[in-house]
Chain A
């Protein structure tokens, strides 16, 4: 249980639907109207500063951490410079759409249609992307569910971790301005390289001024409210907020409260600058620890620190990532993917867990917010106390924390080219991407539907659901004379999908460089400041290639296994009959479907099918990693979750494994729902076979455990041992849902009573009742392991 004020805020968070504010978009647009002709980075910096100067300031009831993205407490903003057309198309249905609805009034709609969108016509990132994407790729990659990268052209990139350790807490934005000015003195405007740098430094001076001014306006507001505040205790708090906002974020923080307010101002700046996905907090228990120790020595009680942490959790959950219905299908649950990573090792390789690590786990238990995305790093000699706190939070059924192998994360970063100390200092990006803060990367660049490649290979290149040619296969399925021929055809389609994904990504990357430089977030990066280069131009210390996310590994492997066994080994059926059965969505072929369902399935530690999955994953890495992005960095592969296995399933007809048309695919390296019938240990063994450390973009395994397994301390100790065993096999991530099917069904029937029920979606947790019915059903369909 949190404090009274946090409980009130928490209730508001779970009870209210988010509202859209157009204020940021209005100011941004008006600013752009005034800066026509100036350079893009400067225009964006000025738009940011104008927003900081003009956006109304709101201090909500009882808040200890202040700063609002708009006039509503639960609020999403618009970023028409990225895309306005989807908003225009979809906003009339915002409040009624199935996944992630928003509130928006008719007056608001009228205003944005009249005053905001007309300016952006022809100027948005989306329009440019669609104009430049080659037709052949567009056919497969625009709103198809086959290749999907719309979060990279309808949205900003995000996917970054501000550097509190070496930049923000050391220098403050005041220090950043000073440093930029010093740099400017040494540059020569008659040199074209310097010219770009000059522009960059000017842009970050402007954004830094903006965020400092915004904080100043909060100080003014706090002081104003304090004057009329009747409650003496609250008045003192407001005066303290005023004091803090006069110092922060201009100067380095000196207290825990100052530091945590700094964290939120940085988030706020990031949000206002681009409405980002995965603007991560990073290793909070590390960079906040000195302030904790110092405040404690001055007598501050743990309860005060705990309250501040919980207040941040609520703040992180109140703003909403405004996204299209299509994107919401892939990233369901109002998720902003602000990842916060606890535990693991220090840069020197020592145990990094501390009191704050435990307090953060406790905070998620007491406020039950879906943000931050709480992740833990578990090393082999992880202290018992930390492991116990982790498994205890698992037993609460929130799906948190995401549990990661410290060593696998380290290996993944080493493989990606990081120096060992930096690799050891990793945090998560978004859901399950191991990442280091001095990095510019696209950690969720494209979603690739593996099963589509199989469908095209088995259906003469034609998508069953879209009804048009999207693949390259010409021959009919009955022409395949051996299993090898089927597999070869599959891999040809598969490679083609990767090629399209790369093309779509390169097109988007080039446009980002041209159109949407990121001065505010670049100013949070040490090497951008040092070298005078924006993030979009590769200014970070590390620039890691974009991550291709594979979806449907289990379904595709199961389907190939079914063809291999039923057609070519047991000769139970022919390619012709199987094709007819699939085209008929198995109707009239129930017996054949039974046979298909009984072919070994991935996730049960059965070599017959696991071997197919392992080869597919290795092939995926080899081909994907062979491409280079616009900075010359190799693409990376991942098997992450998000909620992408739903929309990608909708566009795939029946599959040879026995799955019916439109049903979800499989997530990450998880088994297909309901087919891991052995034990979670078998599912773990299957998943661990996949050479996870080469997939630097992250891997994800979701398991459902029966609640009774973790009811007792002893049960939780065994769970801890199970996790360590899994990691010792080389695996990277596992996360558990422990809510019983019964409770989930009751929550479907009476959503009002279960508003704060958090469940694991895939790589992240969110409120169950905020998911569409089909998403809820998909979660229930996961096999609950009764074992133990």
Chain B
């Protein structure tokens, strides 16, 4: 079995517990204007980085990379985190891979944009010990403007995760002028605290580390209007979440 991947990254410590391997899967239904992995945008087989930053890997190749790192998971409580792109776009290989890892009792987490068919991916999600799900903008129209897609499905999926008590962390990229206004933050916070029992969010201030890839792919750089908010605004945002009983976590 084969799939489309970017180069896996070993020794990651920010996407779950312990020392982890990040498996970046190509293809994404969204096209966020600030995306730091633009090579993954598009369909898995025809992503923007196809032929340069994205290539086909055999399932065995990916498993071998993970196997070599296993000793480091063992002592740190780490494991594998599926990321992307949007990992669920290559559901068949994700299903197979996560089943193999599940049988080896390797800890798994996933980072998803939330845009997927819940019923179809449920069995994959059941194998995850932690799910990071993005909620970039609460307002549907704004969401469509900046990401190319409506967010109704994403909100619906978050609700379902909440109902069924999955271990989730809502991730919010903080981009000044896009989603850091009080209205967006309050609505987001209200939504989260309403639908999730022990709600957790992680705030990820925007960074421009992806610029290099835009150059490599000869794509237009993200707007220079995108900026990380300053420390005091981040603190304000954190306060809003806390005031609604939401834990702000950091991985």
Contact = CB atoms under 8 A, between A and B. Distances in A.
A362 to B, nearest CB: 25
A788 B11 contact: yes
Nearest to B9: A787
Given A678-B10, A681-B11, A721 B77 contact: yes
A709 to B, nearest CB: 8
A680 B69 CA distance: 11
Contacts of B69: 681
Nearest to B71: A725
B74 A725 contact: yes
Interface string B70-98: 01101111100000000000000000000
B13 interface: yes
B72 A722 contact: yes
A685 B10 CA distance: 13
A211 to B, nearest CB: 47
14 contacts: A605-B68, A681-B69, A681-B72, A685-B68, A714-B13, A715-B13, A718-B18, A718-B19, A718-B78, A721-B18, A725-B71, A729-B71, A785-B11, A788-B13
B14 interface: yes
Given A717-B76, A722-B19, A725-B75, 17 more contacts: A678-B10, A681-B19, A681-B72, A685-B68, A709-B13, A718-B18, A718-B76, A721-B18, A721-B76, A721-B78, A722-B76, A725-B71, A725-B74, A725-B76, A728-B75, A787-B12, A788-B11
A679 B76 CA distance: 16
Given A681-B19, A721-B75, A722-B19, A788 B68 contact: no
Interface string B12-53: 111000110000000000000000000000000000000000
Which of B69, B75, B76 has the most chain A CB atoms inside 10 A of its CB? B75
A682 interface: yes
Interface residues of B, number: 16
A490 B76 CA distance: 42
Interface in A672-720: 678-682, 685, 709, 714-715, 717-718
Contacts of A729: 71
Nearest to A788: B13
9 closest A-B pairs (Cβ-Cβ)? Answer: A721-B76, A721-B75, A679-B11, A787-B11, A724-B75, A725-B72, A788-B13, A725-B75, A725-B71
A787 B14 CA distance: 11
B10 to A, nearest CB: 5
Most buried by A among B11, B19, B68: B11
Interface of A: 605, 678-682, 685, 709, 714-715, 717-718, 721-722, 724-725, 728-729, 785, 787-788
A605 B72 CA distance: 14
Nearest to B76: A721
B93 to A, nearest CB: 24
A728 B10 CA distance: 19
Contacts of B13: 709, 714-715, 718, 788
Contacts of A681: 10-11, 19, 69, 72
A681 B73 CA distance: 11
A721 B71 CA distance: 10
Nearest to A684: B72
Contacts of A717: 76
Given A721-B76, A722-B19, A725-B76, A679 B10 contact: yes
A685 B70 CA distance: 11
A709 B14 CA distance: 11
A124 to B, nearest CB: 52
B8 to A, nearest CB: 11
B10 A787 contact: yes
Contacts of A715: 13
Contacts of A680: 11
B182 to A, nearest CB: 29
Contacts of B72: 681, 721-722, 725
Interface string B169-197: 00000000000000000000000000000
Residue of B14, B68, B76 ringed by the most chain A CB atoms within 10 A: B76
Nearest to A680: B11
Contacts of B12: 787-788
A707 to B, nearest CB: 14
A685 B64 CA distance: 14
Nearest to A723: B75
A728 B11 contact: no
A788 to B, nearest CB: 5
Contacts of A787: 10-12
Central interface residue in B12, B71, B72, B78, by most chain A CB within 10 Å: B72
**Which of the listed residues A678, A717, A721, A724 has the most CB atoms from chain B within 10 Å of its own CB?**
A721
A394 to B, nearest CB: 16
Given A681-B72, A728-B71, A721 B10 contact: no
A778 to B, nearest CB: 25
A681 B19 CA distance: 10
Contacts of B68: 605, 685
Contacts of A785: 11
A605 B77 CA distance: 22
A447 B237 CA distance: 60
Contacts of B76: 717-718, 721-722, 725
Contacts of A722: 19, 72, 75-76
Interface string B60-72: 0000000011011
Nearest to B69: A681
A378 to B, nearest CB: 11
B165 to A, nearest CB: 25
A785 B72 CA distance: 16
Contacts of A682: 10
Contacts of A718: 13, 18-19, 76, 78
Contacts of A605: 68
A725 B20 CA distance: 13
A774 B15 CA distance: 40
Contacts of B14: 788
B203 to A, nearest CB: 16
B82 to A, nearest CB: 19
Nearest to B10: A679
B60 to A, nearest CB: 16
Nearest to A712: B250
Contacts of B10: 678-679, 681-682, 787
